Chain A
Amino acid sequence: MTTDRTHAKRRRALTVTIGIALGIGALITAFPFLWMLTTAFKPQRESVTFPPTILPQAPTLEWFQMLFTELDFGRYLVNTILVVLIGFIGLMFMAMAGYAFAKFDFRGRKWMFFLVLATMMIPIQVTMIPTYLILNGMKLTNTLLGIALPTLVSGFAIFLFRQFMTTIPTEMLEAARLDGAGEFRTFWQIVLPMSKPILAVQIVLTFISGWNSFLWPLIIASDQKLYTLSVGLALLNQQLAVNPSLQMAAASVMVIPILIVFIVFQRYVIQGFALSGLK
């Protein structure tokens, strides 16, 4: 009885210690982010003074106003959202491919899957110019589709889909087929609903990569109307005359929406990875 109680007490003490350590770790990890937020509200002079102030002494909203009035951040925001939306088409393609790799036996499956894995190892700097020329040949430069296309599918995601979908019982698919469901209906009504956790993971990952996309919007857009938030942010990086406040305000506009998406989806995300056989 007594040993049980001391045991419970010790466990409680351990939990509290770990909790404190993690709390400190979390603050350190998130610190650059918090610093970014507070700087976004400082007047320019204050953001370059030494010693730095932790909290803004004279908080101002002028930088956020500037982003959306003088600079074109409203438009960049819309473009970024569109790129993310196109990314979701890629998501469907990757789910379909993952399903085929997981549940069908077909000629060429092995080497195709090998190609999928091989693409994970290719450094992007290698493929940039050829990719650009291909898009140009397809007359897709200066379109949102062209911006989204090069990163639409990723080997990593197809691999995760396959890992997850192998755990779907084949009998369920057979049953659906016996009921006369077509292949695509089976995929749509059985496979996808059962893959909700991995879809949640991929939604978040797709959102992140689309949201942060920089290289392709920059190169493909020959029209500033197609720039995304990342490119807009890079435009603020002047050679001289630094204004950290404005830059931090722009960075905040970029980070906060994605943080909200993550907080909403995080439970599903962890489940998704858990069920995809990554253990």
Chain B
Amino acid sequence: MRNRLTPYLFVSPAMLLLITFGIFPILVAAVISTTNMNISAFADWNNVEFIGIDNYTKLFADPDFWQAIGNTGLFAVFGVPAIVILSLGVALLLNHSQSRFFRSLRAFYFIPAITAIVAISLVWGYLYNTQFGLLNYLFSLVGVPQVQWLSDPILAKFSVALVAVWRGTGLNIIIFLAALQGVPKEYLEAASLDGAGEWKKTFSIVIPLMRFAIFFVSVTTTIAWLQFFDEPFVLTDGGPLGATTSASIFLYKEGFRLNQFGYASAGSIVLFAIIAVITLIQLRVRRADDDY
């Protein structure tokens, strides 16, 4: 009876926009990645030549690209667990009591998530500043010598990641808090009657029931780290000496600073492929987990 067109009518505005501004551009990028296109193309399109997979071979031989991929991997390996565990922990604690005090604390933890990156860069750049920044001052009060937050190649990785963790927890805490509402009270009461302590209840009842939320947060957080861009871009511009250059920053610099559009597009296709593969692996692992 139903008009068969109905679902298409509902879906099409959003799908049109997604295809126009999401799918189509990546196809364009795929085409560009097989050319030597740079900024001179805009003066005369005859300057563009098809060069096959040359960009890709050059990319895989580029030490800067590997450094960027390595940095991104490092950020993801430490960043994903940090954000997931921290958000989960805070959410569990916030859920401990439904009192007014506990609920009013939520807003504080959400502040970082809602702050614009431009504002974040200003505030943190100012906190980290080695001359008039507050962090070094506080450290100096307890006798710690000057810390080169953003200038030391190793520490800078930590510093930009710290800001990203700070910013990344807010939304995930909310998601976990929501998931915690879905844990049936009866289960917990039954466990209490059996004499289970808080610790045991959390680990053997609550966390297993939140499996899907944890999985969901892990997947979105992984994607976010693999696309890591904002914090190093505004705080260090990928420096010092490339120490905080993530894959996205590398692509951005090739594309917009050096105007090597063909080369940058090849890099972005590779990054897209990496993200897709990792996400698919995560989905597979979860499915296997469910079967079990």
Chain A residues with CB under 8 Å of chain B are 14-15, 18-19, 21-23, 25-27, 29-30, 32-33, 35-36, 39, 47-52, 90, 93-94, 96-97, 99-101, 104-106, 109, 112, 115-116, 118-131, 134, 149-153, 155-156, 158, 177, 183, 187, 208, 211-212, 214, 229-230, 233-234, 237, 244, 247-248, 250-251, 254-255, 258-259, 262-263, 266, 269-279
Q: Does B185 contact A (CB under 8 A)?
A: no
> For chain B residues 257-281, which have a beta carbon within 8 Å of chain A?
261, 264-265, 268-269, 271-272, 275-276, 279
Is B17 touching A149 in the complex (CB atoms < 8 A)? yes
Cβ 8 A contact of A130, one of B25, B117, B229: B25
B276 to A123, Cβ gap below 8 A?
Answer: no
Number of interface residues of B (CB under 8 A): 93
A30 to B106, CA, bound (A): 11
Stretch of B77-85, B153-161, B209-217 on the interface side:
B209-217
Bound form: Cα–Cα A277–B215 in Å: 13
Q: Is the CB of A211 within 8 A of B116?
A: yes
Q: Are A270 and B178 in contact (CB under 8 A)?
A: yes
- Find the A residue at minimum CB distance from B101: A19
A126, A234, A262: the one contacting B29 at CB < 8 Å is A126
If the complex has contacts A29-B111, A104-B7, A125-B229, are A35 and B123 also in contact, measured as CB distance less than 8 A? yes
List B85-105 residues whose CB lies under 8 Å from chain A: 90, 93-94, 96-97, 101-102, 105
Given the interface contacts A19-B102, A248-B122, does A274 sit within 8 Å of B116 by beta carbon?
no
How far apart sit A278 and B214, CA to CA, in the bound complex (Å)? Answer: 9
A22–B107 CB distance below 8 A: no
Some 27 contacts from A to B, beta carbons below 8 A apart, are A18-B97, A22-B93, A29-B108, A50-B131, A51-B140, A52-B133, A97-B10, A115-B15, A120-B220, A121-B272, A124-B229, A125-B252, A125-B255, A126-B269, A127-B21, A127-B29, A153-B18, A155-B22, A183-B9, A214-B117, A214-B118, A255-B114, A262-B107, A274-B179, A278-B178, A278-B212, A279-B212
A sample of 12 more A-B contacts (CB under 8 A), given A49-B132, A121-B279, A130-B24, is A15-B96, A50-B137, A115-B23, A119-B18, A123-B248, A125-B255, A127-B22, A134-B25, A151-B21, A237-B118, A244-B122, A262-B107
Is the CB–CB distance between B22 and A123 below 8 Å?
Answer: no
List of A residues within 8 angstroms of B115 by Cβ? 33, 212, 251, 254-255, 258
Residue of A nearest to B182 (CB): A279
**Which residues from A are CB-within-8-Å of B14?**
90, 93-94, 96-97, 153, 158
Chain A nearest Cβ from B267, distance in angstroms: 9
Contact A106 B4 (CB under 8 A): yes
CB closest chain-A residue, reference B106: A266
Q: What are the nearest 5 A-B pairs in CB distance?
A: A273-B178, A127-B25, A279-B182, A104-B7, A130-B25
Q: Report the minimal beta-carbon distance from A101 to chain B, rounded to whole angstroms.
A: 7
Q: How far is the CA of A248 from the CA of B97 in the complex (A)?
A: 35
Contact status A119-B20, CB under 8 Å = no
Assess A36 versus B108: contact at CB under 8 Å? Given A94-B14, A233-B118: no
Q: Is A26 a contact partner of B108 (Cβ separation < 8 A)?
A: yes
Contacts of B251 in A (CB 8 A): 123, 125-126
> Which of A96, A126, A128, A212 gathers the greatest number of chain B CB atoms within 10 Å?
A126
In the bound complex, what is the Cα–Cα distance between A13 and B115 (angstroms)? 35
Nearest Cβ on chain A to B93's Cβ, whole angstroms: 5
A125 engages B268 (CB within 8 Å): yes
Closest A residue by C-beta to B163 = A32
- B88 to A: closest C-beta gap in Å: 13
Are A93's CB and B13's CB within 8 A?
A: yes
Q: Chain B nearest CB: distance from A9 CB in Å?
A: 14
In the assembled complex, the Cα of A213 lies from the Cα of B279 at a distance in Å of 27
Chain B residues, Cβ within 8 Å of A130: 24-25, 28-29
Contact of B111 among A14, A30, A127 (CB under 8 A): A30
Q: How far is the CA of A152 from the CA of B13 in the complex (A)?
A: 11
Contact, CB under 8 Å: B114 / A208: yes
Q: How far is the CB of B149 from chain A (nearest CB, A)?
A: 13
Residue from the list A187, A262, A269, A271 in contact with B10, Cβ < 8 A: A187
Interface centre among A90, A127, A229, A234 (most CB of B within 10 A): A127
